[in-house]
Amino acid sequence: MLKRAQLYYRSKCPGAEEAKNFLEEHGVKVVERDITQKPLTKKELGAVLGYLNPKHYLDTTSAAFKKKKLDKQIPARSELLEIIIENPDLLRNPIIRSGRLLTFGNNRQQLIQMFQIAVSDNGSGEKKGASRRERR
């Protein structure tokens, strides 16, 4: 069965490129969307994030996080989605979604678990049994 992923990222995100390459090397078909070039609508953003706790997807290091005083209080979901639409750098990047599964950032271990990728014993992310030629 072909595994598929949706990859949402901001332009010039090296983590998104790394995640995409890793997934494609392991047989996952990746559909990309640069949210800088083609921003998500409020409805799309709500569908992607679902009703997750904002601590999972908010980038607490972004300038907008403190500017919008999100470190003090997180507003209601609808208002928070509006704030994110205006300040996309509030989202942890990249966002990788497959069905109901979702992960934020380029965390190889989470991707391995999410897509049930078989890795070598050394945890390198190389395919099990991959020949030296395939690993290059």
pLDDT of residue 4: 96
Residue 12, pLDDT score: 85
Long-range CB pairs of 69-74, under 8 A, 24+ apart, other chains included: none
Identity of the amino acid at 125: G
How far apart CA 12 and CA 20 sit, in angstroms, is 13
DSSP state of 6: E
Return the pLDDT at 38. 95
Taking only the tens of pLDDT, the chain with its 136 residues reads 689 999 999 988 889 999 999 999 999 999 999 999 999 999 999 999 999 999 999 999 999 999 999 999 999 999 999 999 999 999 999 999 999 999 999 999 999 999 999 887 555 555 554 444 444 4
Decide if domain 3-50+91-135 falls under CATH 3.40.30.10.
yes
Q: Look up the pTM and report it.
A: 0.82
Strand partners, 30: 5
Return the DSSP state at 10: -
In this prediction, residue 126 carries a pLDDT of: 52
pLDDT of residue 90: 95
For the chain, the structural domain boundaries read 3-50+91-135
